[in-house]
Amino acid sequence: MAWENITFKTTEEIAIMKEGGRILAGIMDQLKEATKIGVTTQSIDDLAEKLIKKYQVKAAFKDHEGYPAVSCLSVNNVIVHSVPSDYILKAGDLISIDMGIQYQGFFTDMAITVGLAPIDSENNRMIHTAKKALKIGIANAKVGNTFSDIGNAIQRFVEYQGFGVVRELCGHGIGHNLHEEPKIPNYGSRHKGPKIEVGMVFCIEPMITRGDWHLKASSDGFGYETADGSYSAHYEHTLAITDKGTEILTIK
Protein backbone atom coordinates (compact mmCIF):
# COMPACT_ATOMS: atom_id res chain seq x y z
CA MET A 1 0.00 0.00 0.00
CA ALA A 2 1.07 3.57 -0.63
CA TRP A 3 1.11 6.30 1.98
CA GLU A 4 -2.36 7.77 2.28
CA ASN A 5 -1.18 11.31 1.56
CA ILE A 6 0.67 10.54 -1.70
CA THR A 7 -1.26 11.90 -4.69
CA PHE A 8 -1.34 9.51 -7.64
CA LYS A 9 -1.32 10.92 -11.16
CA THR A 10 -3.32 9.66 -14.14
CA THR A 11 -1.79 8.85 -17.52
CA GLU A 12 -3.22 12.11 -18.85
CA GLU A 13 -1.76 14.13 -15.99
CA ILE A 14 1.65 12.53 -16.45
CA ALA A 15 1.50 13.45 -20.15
CA ILE A 16 0.96 17.10 -19.19
CA MET A 17 3.85 16.94 -16.74
CA LYS A 18 6.04 15.38 -19.42
CA GLU A 19 5.38 18.33 -21.71
CA GLY A 20 6.09 20.75 -18.87
CA GLY A 21 9.27 18.85 -18.08
CA ARG A 22 10.38 19.10 -21.70
CA ILE A 23 9.92 22.87 -21.60
CA LEU A 24 11.82 23.12 -18.32
CA ALA A 25 14.70 21.03 -19.67
CA GLY A 26 14.94 23.36 -22.67
CA ILE A 27 15.03 26.40 -20.42
CA MET A 28 17.71 24.76 -18.29
CA ASP A 29 19.87 24.13 -21.37
CA GLN A 30 19.73 27.85 -22.19
CA LEU A 31 20.57 28.84 -18.61
CA LYS A 32 23.54 26.47 -18.65
CA GLU A 33 24.75 28.02 -21.92
CA ALA A 34 24.52 31.49 -20.36
CA THR A 35 26.48 30.47 -17.26
CA LYS A 36 29.93 31.87 -18.01
CA ILE A 37 32.84 33.57 -16.30
CA GLY A 38 32.15 37.28 -15.85
CA VAL A 39 28.34 37.15 -15.66
CA THR A 40 26.32 37.72 -12.49
CA THR A 41 23.93 35.19 -11.04
CA GLN A 42 21.24 37.90 -11.33
CA SER A 43 21.75 38.02 -15.10
CA ILE A 44 21.10 34.27 -15.29
CA ASP A 45 17.87 34.71 -13.34
CA ASP A 46 16.87 37.60 -15.61
CA LEU A 47 17.23 35.22 -18.55
CA ALA A 48 15.18 32.59 -16.71
CA GLU A 49 12.38 35.13 -16.27
CA LYS A 50 12.46 36.02 -19.97
CA LEU A 51 12.27 32.34 -20.92
CA ILE A 52 9.33 31.78 -18.54
CA LYS A 53 7.46 34.48 -20.47
CA LYS A 54 8.61 33.17 -23.86
CA TYR A 55 7.27 29.67 -23.22
CA GLN A 56 4.13 30.97 -21.49
CA VAL A 57 4.61 28.97 -18.30
CA LYS A 58 4.66 30.05 -14.65
CA ALA A 59 7.67 30.23 -12.37
CA ALA A 60 7.34 27.67 -9.60
CA PHE A 61 9.77 29.24 -7.14
CA LYS A 62 8.96 32.96 -7.34
CA ASP A 63 6.84 33.99 -4.35
CA HIS A 64 6.86 30.42 -3.02
CA GLU A 65 7.22 30.93 0.73
CA GLY A 66 8.40 34.45 -0.04
CA TYR A 67 11.23 33.49 -2.41
CA PRO A 68 11.96 36.56 -4.60
CA ALA A 69 13.44 35.04 -7.79
CA VAL A 70 12.61 32.66 -10.65
CA SER A 71 15.62 30.36 -10.12
CA CYS A 72 17.88 29.28 -7.29
CA LEU A 73 21.53 29.92 -8.17
CA SER A 74 23.83 28.52 -5.51
CA VAL A 75 27.60 29.02 -5.77
CA ASN A 76 30.39 26.88 -4.30
CA ASN A 77 29.63 26.12 -0.63
CA VAL A 78 25.95 27.11 -0.99
CA ILE A 79 24.07 23.99 -1.94
CA VAL A 80 20.46 25.13 -2.55
CA HIS A 81 17.93 27.98 -2.54
CA SER A 82 20.38 30.87 -2.94
CA VAL A 83 18.86 34.14 -4.18
CA PRO A 84 20.46 35.53 -7.39
CA SER A 85 22.67 38.54 -6.79
CA ASP A 86 25.37 40.77 -8.26
CA TYR A 87 27.99 38.08 -7.57
CA ILE A 88 30.23 37.79 -10.66
CA LEU A 89 31.09 34.21 -11.62
CA LYS A 90 34.79 33.42 -11.88
CA ALA A 91 36.99 30.56 -13.01
CA GLY A 92 36.84 27.62 -10.62
CA ASP A 93 33.33 28.38 -9.36
CA LEU A 94 30.66 25.70 -9.10
CA ILE A 95 27.09 26.87 -9.55
CA SER A 96 23.97 24.78 -8.97
CA ILE A 97 21.03 25.90 -11.10
CA ASP A 98 17.70 24.80 -9.62
CA MET A 99 14.41 25.73 -11.26
CA GLY A 100 10.79 24.67 -11.44
CA ILE A 101 7.82 25.65 -13.60
CA GLN A 102 4.06 25.25 -13.57
CA TYR A 103 2.51 24.15 -16.87
CA GLN A 104 -1.24 23.61 -17.25
CA GLY A 105 -1.61 23.34 -13.50
CA PHE A 106 1.22 20.88 -12.87
CA PHE A 107 4.72 21.45 -11.52
CA THR A 108 8.08 20.03 -12.59
CA ASP A 109 11.47 20.67 -11.00
CA MET A 110 15.11 20.00 -11.91
CA ALA A 111 18.67 21.00 -11.02
CA ILE A 112 22.17 20.77 -12.45
CA THR A 113 25.64 21.82 -11.29
CA VAL A 114 27.98 23.65 -13.65
CA GLY A 115 31.73 24.02 -13.13
CA LEU A 116 33.46 27.05 -14.66
CA ALA A 117 36.76 25.83 -16.05
CA PRO A 118 39.39 25.42 -15.00
CA ILE A 119 38.04 23.80 -11.85
CA ASP A 120 39.75 21.83 -9.11
CA SER A 121 40.03 18.13 -10.05
CA GLU A 122 38.33 17.02 -6.84
CA ASN A 123 35.45 19.43 -7.41
CA ASN A 124 35.14 18.04 -10.93
CA ARG A 125 35.00 14.52 -9.49
CA MET A 126 32.33 15.64 -7.02
CA ILE A 127 30.15 17.03 -9.82
CA HIS A 128 30.40 13.76 -11.72
CA THR A 129 29.66 11.82 -8.54
CA ALA A 130 26.49 13.83 -7.91
CA LYS A 131 25.35 13.31 -11.50
CA LYS A 132 26.05 9.58 -11.30
CA ALA A 133 24.27 9.42 -7.92
CA LEU A 134 21.14 10.80 -9.59
CA LYS A 135 21.35 8.07 -12.24
CA ILE A 136 21.73 5.45 -9.52
CA GLY A 137 18.75 6.88 -7.66
CA ILE A 138 16.65 6.77 -10.83
CA ALA A 139 17.68 3.14 -11.46
CA ASN A 140 16.31 2.26 -8.02
CA ALA A 141 13.07 4.22 -8.51
CA LYS A 142 10.96 1.32 -9.71
CA VAL A 143 7.86 -0.61 -8.80
CA GLY A 144 8.54 -3.00 -5.93
CA ASN A 145 11.32 -0.96 -4.36
CA THR A 146 10.77 1.41 -1.46
CA PHE A 147 11.74 5.08 -1.38
CA SER A 148 14.41 4.21 1.17
CA ASP A 149 16.02 1.93 -1.42
CA ILE A 150 16.65 5.06 -3.50
CA GLY A 151 18.30 6.93 -0.65
CA ASN A 152 20.35 3.94 0.44
CA ALA A 153 21.74 3.42 -3.07
CA ILE A 154 22.65 7.11 -3.37
CA GLN A 155 24.31 7.20 0.04
CA ARG A 156 26.38 4.07 -0.48
CA PHE A 157 27.71 5.31 -3.83
CA VAL A 158 28.45 8.87 -2.72
CA GLU A 159 30.15 7.89 0.52
CA TYR A 160 32.19 5.22 -1.28
CA GLN A 161 33.49 8.07 -3.46
CA GLY A 162 34.52 9.94 -0.31
CA PHE A 163 31.88 12.71 -0.34
CA GLY A 164 29.22 13.74 2.19
CA VAL A 165 25.47 13.24 1.74
CA VAL A 166 23.24 16.08 2.94
CA ARG A 167 20.71 14.92 5.54
CA GLU A 168 18.69 18.07 6.24
CA LEU A 169 17.20 18.37 2.73
CA CYS A 170 15.62 15.76 0.48
CA GLY A 171 13.69 14.92 -2.68
CA HIS A 172 9.90 15.12 -2.76
CA GLY A 173 6.67 14.28 -4.47
CA ILE A 174 5.41 16.78 -7.05
CA GLY A 175 2.41 17.48 -9.26
CA HIS A 176 -0.50 19.69 -8.23
CA ASN A 177 1.92 21.32 -5.78
CA LEU A 178 5.63 22.01 -5.98
CA HIS A 179 6.31 19.94 -2.86
CA GLU A 180 4.13 16.93 -2.10
CA GLU A 181 4.57 13.73 -0.15
CA PRO A 182 6.63 11.63 0.05
CA LYS A 183 9.87 13.10 1.33
CA ILE A 184 12.78 11.19 -0.25
CA PRO A 185 16.06 11.38 1.72
CA ASN A 186 19.36 10.67 -0.02
CA TYR A 187 20.44 8.32 2.76
CA GLY A 188 19.07 5.59 5.00
CA SER A 189 18.41 1.87 5.31
CA ARG A 190 16.93 -0.30 2.57
CA HIS A 191 13.40 -1.73 2.46
CA LYS A 192 11.83 0.83 4.81
CA GLY A 193 8.34 2.24 4.33
CA PRO A 194 5.80 1.52 1.58
CA LYS A 195 6.68 0.43 -1.92
CA ILE A 196 6.85 2.56 -5.05
CA GLU A 197 3.73 2.20 -7.21
CA VAL A 198 2.48 3.13 -10.67
CA GLY A 199 1.09 6.67 -10.75
CA MET A 200 3.59 8.18 -8.35
CA VAL A 201 5.50 11.25 -9.55
CA PHE A 202 8.42 12.61 -7.56
CA CYS A 203 11.80 14.35 -7.63
CA ILE A 204 15.10 12.72 -6.75
CA GLU A 205 17.83 15.23 -5.94
CA PRO A 206 21.20 14.13 -4.56
CA MET A 207 22.94 16.95 -2.68
CA ILE A 208 26.53 16.14 -1.82
CA THR A 209 29.47 17.90 -0.22
CA ARG A 210 33.22 17.75 -0.50
CA GLY A 211 33.52 17.90 3.28
CA ASP A 212 31.10 17.42 6.16
CA TRP A 213 27.41 17.12 5.30
CA HIS A 214 26.02 19.48 7.93
CA LEU A 215 24.41 22.70 6.68
CA LYS A 216 23.69 26.17 8.01
CA ALA A 217 21.41 28.96 6.83
CA SER A 218 22.85 31.49 4.38
CA SER A 219 22.83 35.20 5.07
CA ASP A 220 20.25 35.88 2.31
CA GLY A 221 17.60 34.17 4.45
CA PHE A 222 16.78 31.48 1.87
CA GLY A 223 19.92 29.52 0.98
CA TYR A 224 21.57 26.61 2.77
CA GLU A 225 25.33 26.21 2.74
CA THR A 226 27.85 23.77 4.14
CA ALA A 227 28.70 24.46 7.77
CA ASP A 228 32.41 23.80 7.14
CA GLY A 229 32.60 25.93 3.97
CA SER A 230 33.27 22.97 1.68
CA TYR A 231 32.05 22.98 -1.93
CA SER A 232 28.87 21.16 -2.92
CA ALA A 233 26.97 19.75 -5.90
CA HIS A 234 23.27 19.14 -6.65
CA TYR A 235 21.35 17.33 -9.40
CA GLU A 236 17.61 16.73 -9.75
CA HIS A 237 15.05 15.21 -12.11
CA THR A 238 11.28 14.78 -11.98
CA LEU A 239 10.23 11.15 -12.51
CA ALA A 240 6.97 9.33 -13.17
CA ILE A 241 6.27 5.68 -12.39
CA THR A 242 4.17 4.29 -15.25
CA ASP A 243 2.96 0.88 -16.31
CA LYS A 244 5.80 0.94 -18.87
CA GLY A 245 8.48 1.69 -16.28
CA THR A 246 10.17 4.74 -14.80
CA GLU A 247 10.14 7.82 -17.02
CA ILE A 248 12.31 10.94 -16.60
CA LEU A 249 9.99 13.88 -17.29
CA THR A 250 12.56 16.70 -17.21
CA ILE A 251 14.38 15.90 -20.44
CA LYS A 252 13.98 17.26 -23.97
Each residue's pLDDT tens digit, 130-152: 999 999 999 999 999 999 999 99
Domain 11-248 has CATH 3.90.230.10: yes
pLDDT for the residue numbered 15: 98
> CB-based burial of residue 19 (10 Å sphere; 0-12 exposed, 13-18 middle, 19+ buried)?
middle
Residue 22, pLDDT > 50, answer yes
Each residue's pLDDT tens digit, 99-134: 999 999 999 999 999 999 999 999 999 999 999 999
- How large a percentage of the chain has pLDDT more than 70? 98
Each residue's pLDDT tens digit, 73-90: 999 999 999 999 999 999
Q: What is the pTM of this model?
A: 0.97
pLDDT for the residue numbered 3: 60
Close Cβ partners of 88 (under 8 Å, ≥ 6 residues apart): 38, 39, 40
